[in-house]
C-alpha cells in the first residue's frame, strides 16, 4: 500500500499553494511481456486505462519512483529500466480533475527486466492487463504518443525530448 494523497509530496505542496501551477516530476513505465504486449492498469479513481506511473516523492530518485509506482499499481518489481523519453514542454501543462494546474515533467522508462506476479487490483487500480498495440482499450492520447515514442526510440536509439 502506498502513501495517501495527503501525505504525498504533491499533496503537501497543494495544501500550501492551492491549485496554482506546479511542476510535477513523475515517472511512467512501459512494461512489455514476451509477446511485446504493453501493460496497462485501470485507475480506481476515474476508470481510465493508463501505463503505471506516478509522482516522485521527496528523498527518492526518479528510478526509485518508477519502481515504487510499478509495485504499488501492479505488484511487479522493476529490476532494470532505462529512460527513453522526457515530457516537459508547454503542451504538457494541464488542469487535473480536481482543478489543480500542473506542468508535467515526466520521465518515460522502458522496463527491461521485471519480476513477480501481476496483481490485477490494488488500492489504486481495478484491473491490469497486457494489450497488443492493435488491440488497445480506450486510452488517453498521451499513452498513444508514448507508444509512438517507444517505436521512435527503438528505431533511433536516442532519448525522445518533448
Considering the domain boundaries, does residue 98 fall inside one?
A: yes
At 100-130, the pLDDT tens digits run 999 999 999 999 999 999 999 999 999 999 9
Considering the domain boundaries, does residue 35 fall inside one?
A: yes
Within 8 A by CB and 6+ apart from 50, the residues are 40, 41, 42, 43, 139, 140, 143
What is d(CA 87, CA 146) in angstroms, rounded to the nearest whole number?
10
Question: Which stretches of the chain score pLDDT less than 50?
Answer: none
Considering the domain boundaries, does residue 148 fall inside one?
A: yes
pLDDT at site 80: 98
CATH number of the domain that residue 61 is part of: 3.90.79.10
Within 8 A by CB and 6+ apart from 162, the residues are 85, 86, 87, 88, 89, 91, 92, 149
pLDDT at site 97: 81
User: How many structural domains comprise the chain?
Assistant: 1
In 3-state terms the chain splits into helix, strand, coil percentages (rounded to 5) of: 25, 35, 40
Longest dimension (CA), the chain: 46
Domain with 116 in it: 21-161
pLDDT at site 96: 85
pTM of the model: 0.93
Amino acid at each position: 500500500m502506498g502513501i495517501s494523497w495527503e501525505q504525498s509530496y504533491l499533496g503537501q505542496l497543494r495544501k500550501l499553494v492551492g491549485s496554482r501551477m506546479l511542476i510535477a516530476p513523475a515517472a511512467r513505465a512501459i512494461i512489455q511481456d514476451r509477446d511485446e504486449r504493453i501493460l496497462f492498469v485501470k485507475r480506481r479513481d476515474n476508470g481510465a486505462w493508463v501505463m503505471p506511473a506516478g509522482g516522485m516523492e521527496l528523498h527518492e530518485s526518479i528510478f526509485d519512483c518508477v519502481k515504487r509506482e510499478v509495485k504499488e499499481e501492479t505488484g511487479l518489481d522493476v529490476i532494470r529500466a532505462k529512460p527513453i523519453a522526457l515530457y516537459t514542454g508547454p503542451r504538457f501543462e494541464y488542469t487535473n480533475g480536481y482543478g489543480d494546474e500542473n506542468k508535467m515533467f515526466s520521465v518515460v522508462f522502458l522496463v527491461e527486466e521485471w519480476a513477480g506476479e501481476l496483481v490485477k487490483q490494488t488500492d489504486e487500480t481495478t484491473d491490469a492487463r497486457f494489450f497488443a498495440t492493435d488491440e488497445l482499450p480506450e486510452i488517453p492520447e498521451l499513452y498513444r504518443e508514448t507508444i509512438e515514442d517507444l517505436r521512435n526510440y527503438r528505431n533511433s536509439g536516442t532519448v525522445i525530448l518533448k
